[in-house]
Structures are given as C-alpha cells and as structure tokens.
Chain A
Amino acid sequence: MKIRTNEQLDSVLTSCTEGLKNKMEGFGGKRAVLLCGGTGCLSSHSNEIKNKFNELIAEYGISDKVTVNQVGCFGFCSQGPFVKILPEDTLYRLVKVEDVEEIVKTDLMNNQVIERLLYVDPVTHEKVQKQDDINFYKKQKRVALHGCGTINAEDINEAMGYGAFKGLQRALSMTPKEVIDEVLASGLRGRGGAGFPTGRKWSFAYANNADQKYVVCNGDEGDPGAFMDRSILEGNPFAVIEGMMIAGYAIGASEGYFYVRAEYPIAVNRLQKAIDQMTEIGILGDNILGTDFSFMAHIRLGAGAFVCGEETALLNSIEGKRGMPRPRPPFPAVKGLWGQPTVVNNVETLACVPYILREGATEFASTGTERSKGTKVFALGGKVNNVGLVEVPMGTTLRELIYDIGGGIPDGKKFKAIQTGGPSGGCLTEEYLDEPIDFDNLVAKGSMMGSGGAIVMDEDNCMVNIAKFYMEFICDESCGKCSPCRIGTKRMLEILTRITDGKGTMEDLQELEELSEAVKNNSLCALGQTAANPVVSTITHFKDEYLAHIEERRCPAGTCKSLMKYRIDRNKCFGCKLCARNCPVGAISVSEYTAPGKKKPALHIDQDKCIKCGMCRASCKFGAIMKG
C-alpha cells in the first residue's frame, strides 16, 4: 500500500510503534531473541547462531513463544557475538553456536539466567545481567545510532515503529528555509571530520538557483580503525535516507547519491533494501506525502581510494573519473555533481538530521558543549578493554571515554596516548585525559575530531613507528595530483623509515619538521594539508622517542625491529641456561659475572648473532630478559 497523506502515515506509524513495543515488552508472554547483525559479529558466526536458534526453537516446539530477530550493531564489538533476550533485557556475550542449546533450554524454556555467559566487569569482576547496567553503555547517548541494535535493519515496519519518517513529516510541513533554520539552531556540525556547520552548508546550496541540485551522502569511510558510518548504515539505513531527503527538501534537490565503500557489502545491501522498501510504500518517489516534493536515491560504490572521502574527489568518482580533488572554490554548493549545486554530508551527519526534526533543535542542542552540540560516535579500538562503537555527548572527557566506557588498558599496561582523527589527526597524552571532547578543543590541543576513530596506545607502542604507519598510508593513498603531497609525503616516509631503521640523523628530524610545514601549507586538498599531523603531534609529545631512535639507536617501546635488542639483567639472572637452550642460533653464553647472592654466573646475549626472535624472553622464568 502506498502512503500518500499525513493521516495514512500517522496510522501506519501508530500501528508499527504498537507492534514493536509489544515485541520488546513481551506482549502475550512472547519473548524475543535479538542477535547482533553487524559486520564484527557476523565475522564471529552470528548467522550460524541465528540458524541454530531457529532450528532448536522449531525442534522444541516453542515457535509460538519466541521470535528470533537480527538487529544492527550492539557496539560492544570485543564482547560479540551478542544474544539479547527480551523482555528481561538479559545480555549474553561471546556466544558460540554450542551455547545456543543451553540458552534455549535453560533460559527460554526454564527462565533461568545462564551466569557463565554474562558480561563480567573488568574492574569489579562482578557479573552484569542487563545491557543498561554495563558501564560501557551507561555514559552513552544514542542519537546517530538511534535504532542500531534495537530494530531489524531490513524491516521498514520496525524502523517506523521506532520513530522513522516523523522528522521528514515535520520537515515537509515547514518551508525549506524553516528547515535550514532549525538545523542551524541545533548547532549540528559535519561529522565527517571538518566540523563545518551543516545548516550553513545547506543555506549556500539553497541560495543557488538551478534546475537540478543534488544531495550526496559521503559513506567512503576510509580512516583505518573507524567504522561508525558502516555500523549506522548496517543498523538503521532508514534514518540516513530520511536525513538525505530532509536535506534534499531544504536545498531543493530531487535526487540523492550514496557513495559507499565497496568493502562494505552488508551496508550496501541493507541500504538498497531500505531504498526499495521506502519506494514501495511511496515515502521515496514522486509527490511525497501529497506534497510537491519528489525524491529519488541512488547508490554508487567506491573502489578503494581513501582520497575519495574528500568531497570533490568523491564527486569526480561518481562522475566516473579518477578520484582526484578539484580546486575549491567553486565549492560543491555552487558547482558540484555534474556542475550542479550539491550538498555533500557524511553518513553520521545525515543520521542526526531526522532526530533534530523529530525532537526539535532545542532538544538536540541540550547535549554537548557551547560550540559543539549533540553527540559523537567513536570507534574505540586498540589497547583498550572494551573495543567497540560508542556514542557519547560532546564534552565527555577522554578519561571517561577510555576508562569508564573503555574499561581501561588491558594486562595492567600503562596508557601512553590516544590517537584521534586517523591519518589526519594527532595523539593526545595522559596530561590531556581530562579535556572535554569537542571539535575546537581537540584542534586546540593538537589533534582533531576526525571522523571518529579513537585508537588507544599503551607503553608497547612506538610513536615513531605509528607516525611511519600513518605516513605509509597517506603516501600510498595520495592521488598524485599536486606535488607537495605526492613528493612531500614520500620524502617524509623515507626519513621516518631511516629513523626507525636506526639510520636517522638530527638533520633528518629538522627536515621532517620543515617538510611537514611545506606539505601542510601547499597541498591542494585536506588529505595533503593534514598529512603531516601525526608526525607533528608525535614530535611534539614524544620528542624523547625520536631522540632515542636517532641518538641512542634505541626503540624504547621495543617495536622497531631493526633497533630491538634483547638484554639480560645480570643481577636478576640465576644462570639456569634455560634461555641458552631455547635460543635457535646459539647466541647466548655464560658470562664471567656472578651477581651477589647468586650461585651461578649470569648469561649474556651476543648481539651480532641474535635474530631477535624473543624465544629467550618467553622462556625465562625470572623475568631477567628485557627488550628495548
């Protein structure tokens, strides 16, 4: 059935809301099993778990009492796959296919919670039964991730039961100018990295008259270690399409393009299904809800080029060309896709738009800091206990993010730095842990918000090596159009390689700083302009590590293989020779020194013979062998 009027939409929304509420609250004694269907959990056999549930539920004849639902990402990826039982809200984690039978028999049939599958708090060691009681979720607020982990992303009825299209409906009752004013009032800033006010971007495109305008959704999430856009598209594609339509109405565009990485097949598939379902009920198409507004949405796939995350390169790619950036101005709002006024918004930005129109600008702006409103999704990863996707109010401190939500650093290691903004961003050290997260504050402290990658590093990570890692990435992904970026990043990579190989000089360090400045000031697009950020930030905060590599030929973290040395602390060594027996190249021999209180002489490693395999360190029972 096509929905053609506001009244029809209202009645459908009411019945869908009722349906979803009944499912969540266990109406008629019917329970629901929710399974995470995000990429991370699917990699850990979430689909097989779903099939096993369906099989066993049929076998035990409880199909009329239980439904099995695949929903979007729960966000808590390091503890996946998840199984959630409603209405009790019991959350089982790290579930294996073999566990399904026990869940069916013990919980679903006998209402007993299975203790061993519950989450254990890494600090208090207490078991936690309900999702909302887990520290990881307590400080989060879901705006962009609205519906992710709750609704079935392939079912438009569930989306409509969870608030979908109410924002669009309200927008269509306003004038385009009023919609733009509402978004301006909300203070929403672009979530793709730069933080440009979304409402202003829209007002530029609105002011340009043209027969055809476009909205483009940037889903080319290339920052390594960031996957919030993917999870939003996988968890609630309807919200992103709705956001795109509202943008289209505001600027006067009747067509929209999603540009999504080809590496995200599940996201692409669900997005297409959502477009099809919306077209089928007439929410997408001509004369939406009986108004003059018509809108069509298309998907274009990326093909593995990081630079296409830059908006003008992305437009070139949609136009079937090499994805190289164009000089700006003219900005896309004046001359964008096929020369027409175009607004390019990131996935997360568009996902916030329906919330703003549905709940109102004031409500959205009630969270956040003075100049950064709302929430931000981070992909928290690296050396942190709770790896996953978290959405926190702007203004949350880094300490809350890493320790309260992230559960701290594993294995009792020491926190060293958090890297935000990926290859364009920088590192923040311990002294910045109590800084609130917002666009301007992170820039002021030498990093940036970026698209939301947040990688935690501990004492075992070498910061020179991390700078080299990002430079390798940028050098590889530089499109080659402008020489400061093409040649500059290559030269910087060569210098960083020399330093990590133990062949660097003090002049190298100086040249690195000069090059950083030159590449930053002279590159055409943001990729080049920000390429040196990881280098500058690591030199600022970890100059001692650079100096150790250059002056002492030593890697303090013990990461850089060419500089790594294994040494025996001769005062700790008992002379048991276990390491010598384990050494594959016979590099360990008895020395002439016997430590006070020890009976046998200490052992010694011949650095010329050592192949740095680490067997000695692994075999030593007294912790007498150190690397670094």
Chain B
Amino acid sequence: MQKLSEAAVKQINEICDRHINDKTPLMMILSDIQKEYGYVPIDVQEIVSERTGISVAEIYGVVTFYSFFSLKPKGKYIIGCCLGTACYVKGAQRVIDEFCEILGIEPGETTEDGMFTIDALRCIGACGIAPAVSINGTVYPKVQVNQVHSIIDEYRKMG
C-alpha cells in the first residue's frame, strides 16, 4: 500500500481533533474518515491510535465489527441492492444475482477496474417501490431482472 501523504495525515489528525473532546469519540472519528476517504485501512488506524491513545487492536476490532466501515476502497459506483423483506418477497434476490453475474463479483466485492462495488443492503425504507436499487444515492424503483443490463451500461458509458 502507498504511504500516506503528509496532507492526508494532517487531515486525519484534524478529523480526530474535531471529536477528541467528546466522550468516547472513536465511532465518530471512524465515521468521518469512512465518509471522507471511503475506507479505513490499517495505516490510517495507526494515525488515529497515536492521536487518541486508543490501541490499534481496539480500533481494528471496531472497524471490522461494523459493516459501514471498510478496510478496502470501494468502487466508483456503489450498487446497493436492497434485500429488506419487502424487496425480497418481490424478487430482489434475482435482481442482485443478475448484477453479480454480469459484473462477475459477489456482494461486498469490487470489480477489478474499480468501477463497481455491489452491496447487499438491509432495507433502505423504499418499500413502496420495491425492489429498489440505489446507485451512489440515485434510487431505481421496481427494478426488474431484464433492466439490470441497461442500468450497468448507463454507468459504463459515463465512465
């Protein structure tokens, strides 16, 4: 892995300082880092550890416990297929299977070109338009298996 730039180290320290005076700030620090960088690798955890005095072991334990935090970078487009019960009973499993088959990856994985990550989501609360797929925040309602190809193409064209 590339060594972190000085600017990045500075920014991570700034994020730590934002919360350091709160009681037990670790989750908030990690949330902000995840939001800003898209992942929380080990060397970032080390910087957080130095700044906060929390051991790397404990930080790593927290990072790997919650599905929101990721050790690896995610794709440019994150395809979130809702697998909440309402979507599931309306065929969401077939939709996510189709995404996986076309892109050749499993849920949670990223394509080699770094374009797509497929995530299985637990209810995004769009039950009225089930099955729903959310790609970088844009929600596709009532997705049918035969639409999946064109949805992927749409993003491939955008590059």
Binding site for B on A (CB under 8 A): 39-40, 43-44, 76-80, 222-227, 230-231, 262-264, 300-306, 317-324, 338, 379, 381-383, 387-388, 419, 422, 453, 455, 457, 461, 466, 469, 473, 479
Contact = CB atoms under 8 A, between A and B. Distances in A.
A300 B85 contact: no
B127 A227 contact: yes
B127 A39 contact: no
Contact of A225 (B25, B85, B129): B85
Interface in B22-59: 23-28, 30-31, 54, 58
Which residue, A79, A231, A322, has most C-beta atoms of chain B within 10 A? Answer: A322
B149 to A, nearest CB: 15
A136 B31 CA distance: 39
B127 A43 contact: no
Given A323-B66, A455-B89, A300 B27 contact: yes
Interface residues of B, number: 38
Contacts of A40: 125-129
A304 B62 CA distance: 12
Given A319-B24, A320-B25, A225 B127 contact: yes
B122 interface: yes
Given A303-B67, A304-B66, A305-B66, 16 more contacts: A39-B126, A44-B129, A224-B84, A224-B86, A230-B125, A300-B28, A301-B31, A303-B31, A304-B67, A304-B122, A320-B24, A320-B26, A381-B86, A387-B130, A455-B86, A479-B65
Contacts, number: 127
Q: Which of B28, B62, B86 has the most CB of A within 10 A?
A: B86
A455 B86 CA distance: 6
Contacts of A388: 127-128
Interface of B: 23-28, 30-31, 54, 58, 61-62, 65-69, 83-86, 88-90, 121-130, 132, 134, 139, 141
A455 B84 CA distance: 10
Contacts of A303: 27, 30-31, 66-69
Contacts of B58: 321
A231 B121 CA distance: 18
A224 B24 contact: no
A80 B85 contact: no
A461 B132 CA distance: 19
B125 A39 contact: yes
B73 to A, nearest CB: 17
B31 A382 contact: no
B123 A225 contact: yes
A476 to B, nearest CB: 9
Contacts of B67: 303-305
A479 B30 CA distance: 19
Instruction: Name, among A43, A231, A323, the residue most crowded by chain B CB atoms within 10 Å (CB to CB).
Output: A43
A43 B90 contact: no
A382 B86 contact: yes
A301 B123 contact: no
Contacts of A469: 85, 88
B122 A224 contact: yes
B83 A224 contact: yes
A457 B90 CA distance: 9
Nearest to B22: A298
Contacts of A320: 24-27, 54, 62
A235 to B, nearest CB: 13
Nearest to A43: B139
Given A320-B24, A320-B25, A383-B89, A43 B126 contact: yes
A43 B141 contact: yes
A322 B26 CA distance: 11
Please provide the 4 A-B residue pairs with the shortest distance between their CB atoms, ordered closest to farther. A77-B128, A381-B86, A225-B85, A227-B125
A306 B125 contact: no
Contacts of A44: 129, 139, 141
A230 B128 CA distance: 14
Contacts of A466: 89
Contact of A224 (B69, B85, B90): B85
B124 A39 contact: yes
A219 to B, nearest CB: 13
A322 B27 contact: no
Contacts of A473: 122
A387 B23 contact: no
B107 to A, nearest CB: 11
A364 to B, nearest CB: 27
B136 to A, nearest CB: 13
Nearest to A382: B89
Contacts of A227: 123, 125, 127
Contact of A317 (B25, B27, B124, B125): B27
Contact of A321 (B62, B121, B130, B139): B62
B141 A263 contact: no
Interface centre among B61, B83, B90, B127 (most CB of A within 10 A): B127
A79 B124 CA distance: 17
B129 A77 contact: yes
B123 A323 contact: no
A461 B28 CA distance: 41
A83 to B, nearest CB: 16
A225 B128 CA distance: 10
Contacts of A301: 27-28, 31
Which one of A227, A324, A422 has the highest number of Cβ atoms from chain B below 10 Å of its Cβ? Answer: A227
